[in-house]
Amino acid sequence: MENIASYIKEHKSRFIDELIDLLKIPSVSADSAYSQDVWNTAKAIEVKLQEAGCDLVEICETPGYPVVYAEKIIDPELPTVLVYGHYDVQPPDPVSLWTSDPFEPIIKKTELHPEGAIFARGACDDKGQMYMHVKAVEFMIKNNCLPCNVKFMIEGEEEVGSANLGWFVERNHDKLKNDVILISDTGMIANDTPSITTGLRGLSYVEVEVTGPNRDLHSGLYGGAVANPINILTKMIASLHDENNHITIPGFYDKVEELSIEERAAMAEAPFSLDAYKNALNIKDVYGEKGYSTNERNSIRPTLDVNGIWGGYIGEGAKTVIASKAHAKISMRLVPDQDWKEITTLFKKHFESLAPEAVTVKVTPHHGGQAYVTPIESIGYQAASKAYEKTFSKTPIPQRSGGSIPIVALFEKELESKTILMGFGLDSDAIHSPNEHFGIWNYLKGIETIPYFYKYFTELSK
Amino acid sequence: MENIASYIKEHKSRFIDELIDLLKIPSVSADSAYSQDVWNTAKAIEVKLQEAGCDLVEICETPGYPVVYAEKIIDPELPTVLVYGHYDVQPPDPVSLWTSDPFEPIIKKTELHPEGAIFARGACDDKGQMYMHVKAVEFMIKNNCLPCNVKFMIEGEEEVGSANLGWFVERNHDKLKNDVILISDTGMIANDTPSITTGLRGLSYVEVEVTGPNRDLHSGLYGGAVANPINILTKMIASLHDENNHITIPGFYDKVEELSIEERAAMAEAPFSLDAYKNALNIKDVYGEKGYSTNERNSIRPTLDVNGIWGGYIGEGAKTVIASKAHAKISMRLVPDQDWKEITTLFKKHFESLAPEAVTVKVTPHHGGQAYVTPIESIGYQAASKAYEKTFSKTPIPQRSGGSIPIVALFEKELESKTILMGFGLDSDAIHSPNEHFGIWNYLKGIETIPYFYKYFTELSK
């Protein structure tokens, strides 16, 4: 196990080249135009897992994109780690804001990544972080130091709500049987401040459509006399927050877990500079729910954000039109004890009630998932914490993330095991944004740290 | 003059074919991709005016698209009619809602047009209505019954706010000297209810941009902690109307002309069925400013409509992103005594003041124009009224339109003459909408009616 650092040194350029090859395939699951690329990425992962030394590697079909499954069972009596990751990526839009082609990876130095970072869609989320596990397992197999069994479940629909992963998991309880689930699809505070994500927010994602007149109208002849679907939509969306930025959907907060003063005080100790935060985003001020700090607003509090809005004439120049329809994509981040299906129903009921007689409203749920919390007493967390201590020489800080990995709650329900979230990316890596990147130092540090998790988890399991 | 009907009968199919040829050229002035087509349309109009028998025809360059000028001066002592029209058209978007290609004209019968209507972008607004004048003048010249002088000024930027027409008019006072300006770019109530537009609304068209963080962000990691530009934009736009649908911009109504009870009572006599109106648009209810009727809301009252809105991810599927920017195109229809430049300034000042510290706002004025009223006592109006009586056997109803032809107020200021708006289209002709069309009966009726305007105007001018 101790020769992992030298193994990385020896194979560094290959590790980077292999990741770059994966990043060149535009596996955008949200856009059917890329469907063949998503499949090709699955096939590429299959090959890499075989090369890493897994015994059994298969592409498991689902009603949607396939799950790549692999395993290396050294002794049924030993514990089994199930690695989850995803090979699909977010759409690159808006492409015009990328400084390089999202699917032509390049390496550039940045202030936070002086050793260079790989710029490409999926570099961090999640191809880069997923591939760290493939390389860590390659090391342990090739060096005969894999201390337990390992299974891989790499899916291709995470960025569209893991539409069919539940279907797959429900049908493969035995195949996926494990003692702990290991995922790298989150971040850490900083390269000198490792952290482990202990909480995830849930998600409810909906699309709304407001319809007024049966055709686009001339705003001169009809303006002022008929309901303008865009104006109505803005009124409806605006009313979803009150003057304190509380969400106004009746019942929305009923089940929200309220943290104790002690817990909030502990959170407040995580290093955070509001000025640095504002400077990084070039904003004059933060904005959010009254009575909560920035770190609380984006982790322990539920939110409602419009992710996209469109209607009417959005081309060059001017068109004096009243659109027949206006649309928005809206997502709500949820916290422990909020049920995403219940929240989706509350939203639908409330949003439809906001519409005046003059328009009709359609609310279409996209997908969702439950929030999740990892107990820091679990041996999984303890093993991860010791692994970071070994390679970072620092005890990682347990941290609630604002993000969502909907399937983590599903795993607990279906597979009855806890998930450990070992993230090596940084918030500034711009996942879901133009110019997404992943530090080479972080990539290699992940490969170095992961084997120790296997070591300590096996020891603590005895 | 009396043989106009038989002349139309004889040349009917040619009149229709010539218009169809013009409609095939996609002269969309708002989109630079069509720039060559806009120029080609100007050249086609030039040829048609020559063929009609004008003495002087020229394509006059401007900083933008050219103005086609033509004249037939039979006697400097006689009055001169200046015909204004435009050869550019609205963008066809959304193209998917057209039942036939917007630039491949087809003739179809409709309930309101049992003799058939030409379906194409620009069929009514304004190629069809403009070309009626070319054919009417052709008739008068070929039959030696033109009773006065005529000038044509056909522009190519009306749908983008006549950006350079002011420039052209200011530089050509003598060339454009006239006794009355004649325009067909409005509608009438119904084929059995002729009407003349006596009022037009003014217009202020602006584009707004709200900027939050300097890049698109992951809505999980940042959601709730930073201002979402789309949510903020919806709040800002929603606040522009109060619960009675009054516009909340300070000073917006200060100069609005208030009609007397008598004037409002007279307006209320125009035939109108609210049920038919709602059925035609397939809406359950109308929506607008409290205290005013539908016909008042779309004619004598100012309005504020969002004509387009966009931001974030608007593609297929879901993307959990907080956009860096959100945009909207907003137009305000103005009524007599509101100054469009002043209103634009009031809007800008107010809209910018609505933005919280957490975002920045940019307001870009697109274009605008003043409202206008034609006195029904003028000989121009009287001549038009008699012309309709002659060909429709009915006295036309004077009507305020909700639309805007910004340059009408400019003509009055620069050329010191009144404009007569003889419209032959119907509100249901879907101008600015998919499936725009123009009734063949209306097209030919216009050609038949226009010469009588020349006759009566010349007589009344003596």
Q: Tell me: the pLDDT tens digits for B59-87?
A: 999 999 999 999 999 999 999 999 999 99
pLDDT the model gives residue A262: 85
> Which residue in A132, A292, A322, A314 sits closest to A219, CA to CA?
A322
Return d(Cα A387, Cα A405) in angstroms, integer: 23
- B274/A contact by beta carbon, under 8 A: no
Give the distance, in angstroms, between the CA of residue A27 and the centroid of all CA atoms in the same chain: 15
Question: A187, B221: Cβ pair inside 8 Å?
Answer: yes
Q: Which residue has the tokens 């977010």?
A: A90
How far is the C-alpha of A226 from the C-alpha of A336, rounded, in Å? 43
Q: Are strands B360-369 and B202-211 parallel, antiparallel or unpaired?
A: antiparallel
Residues A321 and A353 sit within 8 Å (Cβ to Cβ): no
d(CA B42, CA B27): 9
- The whole-number mean pLDDT for each consecutive block of 10 residues of chain A, a chain of 462 residues, reads 95 98 97 96 98 97 97 97 98 93 97 96 98 98 98 96 93 97 93 92 96 92 94 98 98 92 83 92 96 93 97 89 97 94 98 97 92 89 97 91 84 93 93 95 98 98 92
Contact B4, B99 (CB under 8 A): no
* B307: chain A residues, CB-CB within 8 Å: 219, 230, 312-313, 318-323
- Is 80 exceeded by the pLDDT of residue B406? no
Please tell me the predicted confidence (pLDDT) of residue B218: 87
A429 Cβ contact partners less than 8 Å away, ≥ 6 residues apart = A117, A123, A124, A125, A187, A436, A437, A438, A439
The string of DSSP letters for A12-60 reads HHHHHHHHHHHHTS--BTT-GGGHHHHHHHHHHHHHHHHHHT-SEEEEE
Q: Measured between CB atoms, does B96 come within 8 Å of chain A? A: no
Nearest residue to A453 (alpha-carbon basis) of A251, A191, A215, A150: A150
Pick from A316, A321, A358: CB nearest B285: A358
**Cβ–Cβ contact B447 with A under 8 A:** no
The 3-state DSSP composition of chain B as helix, strand, coil percent (nearest 5) reads 35, 25, 40
Question: What secondary structure does DSSP assign to A286-314, as a single string?
Answer: ----TTS-HHHHTTTS-EEEEEEEEEE--
- CA–CA dist A394, A385 (Å, integer): 9
CA dihedral A273, A276, A277, A283 (to 10 degrees): 130
Interface with chain B: mutation pick from A31, A247, A329, A335, highest number of B CBs within 10 Å: A329
Mutate to test the interface with A, among B234, B324, B332, B431 (most CBs of A within 10 A): B234
Phi, psi of B269 (to 5 degrees): -80, -15
CA of B38: how far to CAs of A315, A331, B69, B88, in Å?
18, 43, 16, 6
The residues with which A204 forms a beta bridge, in sequence order, are: A332, A368
Average pLDDT over all residues of chain B: 95
Residue A17: how many other CB atoms lie within 10 Å: 9
- Amino acid identity for residue A361 in this structure: V
Which residues in chain A touch residue B310, judged by CB atoms under 8 angstroms apart? 309-311, 314
Residues with Cβ within 8 Å of A181's Cβ and at least 6 positions away in sequence, in order, are A81, A82, A83, A84, A408, A411, A415, A417, A418, A419, A420
- For testing contact with chain A, the best of B90, B119, B309, B327 (most A CBs within 10 A): B309
Question: By C-alpha distance, which of B106, B181, B163 is closest to B374?
Answer: B181
Closest C-alpha among B337, B353, B379 to residue B248: B353
**Which among A233, A294, A320 has CB closest to B331?**
A320
What's the confidence (pLDDT) of residue A415?
Answer: 95
Tell me which of B215, B232, B366 to substitute to probe the interface with A (most A C-beta atoms closer than 10 Å).
B215
What is the least distance, in Å, from the CA of A234 to any CA of chain B? Answer: 4
Query: CA of A280, closest CA in chain B: separation in Å?
Result: 8
A30 touches chain B (CB under 8 A): yes
Rounded (5°) CA angle B415-B420-B421? 125
Phi and psi at residue A196, in whole multiples of 5°? -120, 130
Contacts of A393 (CB under 8 A, 6+ apart): none
Nearest CB to A320; choose among B228, B432, B435:
B432
Confidence of residue B20 (pLDDT cuts 50, 70, 90): very high
What is the tens place of the pLDDT at every residue in B105-155?
999 999 999 999 999 999 999 999 999 999 999 999 999 999 999 999 999
CB count, 10 Å around CB of B290? 10
Predicted local confidence at residue B403, as pLDDT: 82
- Pairing outcome for strands A425-426 and A67-72: unpaired
Q: Which residues of B touch A333 (CB under 8 A)?
A: 219-220, 223-224
What does the alpha-carbon distance between residue B58 and residue B81 come to, in Å, rounded to a whole number? 18
Looking at beta carbons, which residues of chain B come within 8 Å of A433? 215-218, 321
CA dihedral for B217, B218, B219, B222, sign (positive or negative): negative
Contact B237 A231 (CB under 8 A): yes
The answer to whether the CB atoms of B205 and A318 lie below 8 A apart is: yes
Distances (CA, A) of A312 to A8, A81, B100, B330: 54, 51, 21, 11
| A1 half-sphere exposure, CB direction, 13 A CA radius | 14
Nearest to B85 by CA among B442, B407, B453: B407
Answer whether B238 sits within 8 Å of A234, measured CB to CB: yes
**In this predicted model, what pLDDT tens digit does every residue of B302-340 receive, in sequence order?**
999 999 999 999 988 888 899 999 999 999 999 989 999
Q: Are B226 and B212 in contact (CB under 8 A)?
A: yes
* Torsion of the alpha carbons at B284, B287, B292 and B293, rounded to the nearest 10: -30
* Residue B127 token pair: 């190629």
Task: State the nearest Cα–Cα gap between B46 and chain A, in angstroms.
Answer: 26
**B194 falls in which pLDDT band (50, 70, 90)?**
very high
Report the SS3 class of residue B60: strand
* pLDDT of res. B166: 94
- What average pLDDT does this structure show over B201-219? 94
The three-state secondary structure class of A249 is coil
What pLDDT band is residue B167 in, cutting at 50, 70 and 90?
Answer: very high
Q: Which residues contact B96 (CB under 8 A, 6 or more apart)?
A: none
Instruction: Kindly give the interhelix angle for A4-23 and A440-461, rounded to the nearest 10 degrees.
Output: 120
Q: Which of residues 330-359 of A touch B (CB under 8 A)?
A: 331, 333, 356-359
Domains and CATH numbers, chain A: 4-200+371-460 (3.40.630.10), 202-256+302-369 (3.30.70.360)
- Check B281 against A241: CB less than 8 A apart: no
**In this predicted complex, what is the ipTM?**
0.77
User: How big is the CA angle at B263 (ends B258 and B264), to the nearest 5 degrees?
Assistant: 80
Question: Mind spelling out the 3-state secondary structure of B74-112?
Answer: CCCCCCEEEEEEECCECCCCCHHHCCCCCCCCEEECCCC
Identify the residue whose tokens are 């030409």: B118
| Sequence-distant (≥ 6) Cβ neighbours of residue B275 within 8 angstroms | none
**Percent of chain B topping pLDDT 70:** 100
- Closest CA relative to residue B372, chosen from B333, B335, B346, B398: B335
